[in-house]
C-alpha cells in the first residue's frame, strides 16, 4: 500500500495542519428572546438554557457574551397577547419595548451588532407572518407593513434587518424604504430559503407566536424543494439583500451548499430551535456528549458552506473556544 490516508491523521498537529474547515466565534449570531420590562427571567421549557429576558437581564447577558468574544445578536420579542392585533400595530410603534431595548443596547454597547426580525407574527393576533383576510395571507398588503417595521427598526439602530416572513418582493420594498429614508448603510439578511418546518416548534413556544389557524405552507417553502431556493436567491440578490439565509440548517445542508455554489453573497444558516432542542434532549438523557455533538453540528453547517451561523449554541461555543 503506497497510499495511506491515515498518515495525515497521525497526530494532533498534522490533523490541525490539514483541517479544511474552521469555525470562529466571529461567524456566529446568537438569537435571544426579549420580553417586556420588569418581567422576571423566564426559562423556555423546550429550549433548556435559553430564557426570555427583560432589558436589564438582556444587558447583563450581552455583557457576558461580549466577554466571551461573542458580539452579534438576533433579538426576538415576546409580545403579550393584549398588544397583538390583526395588523401588527405594536410592531410599528417606535416606543414599543423591542425598539426601546435596541436603543438601550446600542447606547450601552455601541460595538455590538444587532440583527432584528421583520415579520408580523410576534405582533399579530393571527400568529401569521403576513396579513390574514378570510383565511388568506395577503402578500402585497403585508409588504407595506413590513417596510414600515424595517424602517422603525433601522431608526432604533438595528445593524442587520432580518426579513423572516417569506412574502414575495419584501427585500426590494424594504431596501427602497430604508434608502429613501437615508438608511443606506443598514444591511438586510434575507431569510431566502425558509422552509415550512416542524423544527420551529420550540421558538413558537418561546414567543407564544404559533399560528391561530392553518399553517405557513403558502409562504414558507416546501421541504421537498431545492431548485426553488435558487429562484428565491436570484430575487433576493437583485432586490438588494446583503446576505442570503437558509433555514433550518441541518435538514437543509444541501440547500446551503447549493446557494454557496450559486451566489457570491455571504451565505447564512439558521440552526433553529428544534435542532437545538433535539440535541439538548439527547444530552439530558446522557445519550450524547454535549460539547462534541454541538461542535460537530456547527462544523457541518459551516462545511456545507455557511459563512454565518445563527445558533442557540453560540454562547456555549464561544465559552468552549475560550477554554
Ligand atoms: C418568525 C420566525 C420564526 C423563526 C424565526 N423567525 C418562526 C416561524 O417562522 O414560525 C424560527 C426560529 C427558530 O425556530 O429557531 N417569522
Instruction: Give the pLDDT band of residue 91 (cuts 50, 70, 90).
Output: very high
Question: Which atom of ligand 1 is nearest to 211's Cα?
Answer: 10
Residues touching ligand 1 (Cβ under 6 Å) are 117, 119, 121, 129, 164-165, 200, 203-204, 216, 272-273
Picking from 95-104, 199-208, 264-273, which range would have the lowest pLDDT averaged per residue? 199-208
Three-state SS string across the chain, please?
A: CCCCHHHHHCCHHHHHHCCCCCCCHHHEEEEEEECCCCCCCEECCCCCCCEEECHHHHHHHHHHHHHCCCCEEEEEECCCHHHCECCCHHHHCCCCHHHHHHHHHHHHCCCCEEEEEECCCCCECCCCCCEEECCEEEHHHHHHHHHHHHHHHHHHCCCEEEECCCCCCHHHHHHHHHHHCCCCCCEEEEEEEEECCHHHHHHHHHHCCCCCCCCCCCCCECCCCCHHHHHHHHHHHHHCCCEEEEECCHHHHHHHHHHHHHCCCCEEEEECHHHHHHHHHHHHCCCCCHHHHHHHHHHHHHHHCCCEEEECCHHHHHHHHHC
State yes or no: pLDDT of 323 exceeds 80. Answer: no
In which band, very low, low, confident or very high, does the pLDDT at 295 lie, cut at 50, 70 and 90?
Answer: very high
**Angle at which helices 290-304 and 273-284 pack, to 10 degrees?**
150
pLDDT band, very low/low/confident/very high, at 208 (cuts 50, 70, 90): confident
Residue of the CA atom closest to atom 2 of ligand 1: 164
Contact (CB, 8 A) for 318 and 68? yes
Which atom of ligand 1 sits closest to the CA of residue 210? 10
CA end-to-end span of the chain: 40
Q: Are strands 136-138 and 160-163 parallel, antiparallel or unpaired?
A: unpaired
Distance 162 CA to ligand 1 centre (A): 11
Establish whether 285 is a catalytic residue: no
Q: Which pLDDT score is estimated for 189?
A: 98
- pLDDT interval class at 182 (50, 70, 90): very high
pLDDT beyond 90 at 27? yes
Q: How far apart are CA 105 and CA 83, in angstroms?
A: 23
Question: Using CA positions, which residue lies closest to atom 5 of ligand 1?
Answer: 164
Q: Which of 200, 212, 314 for a ligand 1 pocket mutation test, highest count of atoms within 8 Å of Cβ?
A: 200
Which pLDDT score is estimated for 114? 98
- Nearest residue (CA) to ligand 1, atom 8: 200
How far is C-alpha 69 from the geometric centre of its chain's CA atoms?
A: 19
**Bridging pattern class, strands 267-271 and 136-138:** unpaired
- Ligand 1 atom nearest the C-alpha of 200 is 14
Closest Cα to atom 7 of ligand 1: 200
Separation of CA 321 and ligand 1 centre (Å): 27
| pLDDT confidence of residue 70 | 98
pLDDT digits (tens, 9 = 90+) for 217-251: 999 999 999 999 999 999 999 999 999 999 999 99
Phi, psi (degrees; rounded to nearest 5) at 135:
80, 0
CATH of 20-322, one of 3.20.20.70, 3.40.190.10, 3.40.50.20, 3.30.930.10: 3.20.20.70
Task: Name the active-site residue from 194, 216, 260, 315.
Answer: 194
User: Each residue of 89-103: b (16+ CB within 10 Å) or e?
Assistant: ebbbeeebbbbbbbb
Task: Report domain extents, the chain.
Answer: 20-322
From the CA of 274, give the closest atom in ligand 1: 14
Among residues 138, 135, 37, 41, the alpha carbon closest in space to that of 79 is found at 37
212 is catalytic: no
- Mean pLDDT score across all residues of the chain: 97
Q: Where does the pLDDT of residue 171 fall: very low under 50, low under 70, confident under 90, or very high at 90 and above? A: very high
Ligand 1 centroid – CA 103 distance (Å): 23
Convert the pLDDT of each residue in 38-79 to its tens digit.
999 999 999 999 999 999 999 999 999 999 999 999 999 999
Amino acid at each position: 500500500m503506497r497510499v495511506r490516508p491515515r498518515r495525515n491523521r497521525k497526530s494532533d498537529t498534522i490533523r490541525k495542519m490539514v483541517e479544511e474547515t474552521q469555525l470562529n466565534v466571529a461567524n456566529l449570531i446568537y438569537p435571544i428572546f426579549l420580553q417586556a420590562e420588569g418581567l422576571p427571567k423566564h426559562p423556555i421549557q423546550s429550549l433548556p438554557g435559553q430564557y426570555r429576558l427583560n432589558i436589564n437581564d438582556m444587558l447583563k447577558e450581552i455583557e457576558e457574551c461580549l466577554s466571551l468574544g461573542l458580539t452579534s445578536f438576533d433579538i426576538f420579542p415576546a409580545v403579550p397577547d393584549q398588544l397583538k392585533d390583526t395588523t401588527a400595530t405594536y410592531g410599528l410603534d417606535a416606543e414599543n419595548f423591542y425598539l426601546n431595548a435596541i436603543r438601550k443596547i446600542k447606547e450601552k454597547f455601541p460595538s455590538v451588532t444587532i440583527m432584528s426580525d421583520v415579520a408580523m407574527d410576534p405582533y399579530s393576533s393571527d400568529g401569521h407572518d403576513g396579513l390574514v383576510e378570510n383565511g388568506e395571507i395577503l402578500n402585497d398588503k403585508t409588504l407595506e407593513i413590513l417596510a414600515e417595521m424595517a424602517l422603525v427598526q433601522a431608526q432604533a439602530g438595528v445593524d442587520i434587518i432580518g426579513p423572516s416572513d417569506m412574502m414575495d418582493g419584501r427585500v426590494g420594498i424594504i431596501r427602497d424604504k430604508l434608502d429613501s429614508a437615508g438608511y443606506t448603510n443598514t444591511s438586510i439578511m434575507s431569510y431566502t430559503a425558509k422552509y415550512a418546518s416542524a423544527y420551529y416548534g420550540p421558538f413558537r413556544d418561546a414567543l407564544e407566536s404559533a399560528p391561530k389557524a392553518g399553517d405557513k405552507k403558502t409562504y414558507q417553502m416546501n421541504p421537498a424543494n431545492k431548485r426553488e431556493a435558487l429562484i428565491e436567491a436570484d430575487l433576493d440578490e437583485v432586490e438588494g439583500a446583503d446576505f442570503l439565509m437558509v433555514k433550518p440548517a441541518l435538514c437543509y445542508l444541501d440547500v446551503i451548499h447549493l446557494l454557496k455554489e450559486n451566489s457570491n453573497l455571504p451565505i447564512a444558516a439558521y440552526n433553529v430551535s428544534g435542532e437545538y432542542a433535539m440535541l439538548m434532549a439527547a444530552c439530558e438523557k446522557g445519550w450524547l456528549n454535549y460539547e462534541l455533538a454541538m461542535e460537530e453540528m456547527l462544523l457541518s453547517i459551516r462545511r456545507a458552506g455557511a459563512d454565518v451561523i445563527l445558533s442557540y449554541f453560540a454562547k456555549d461555543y464561544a465559552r468552549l473556544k475560550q477554554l
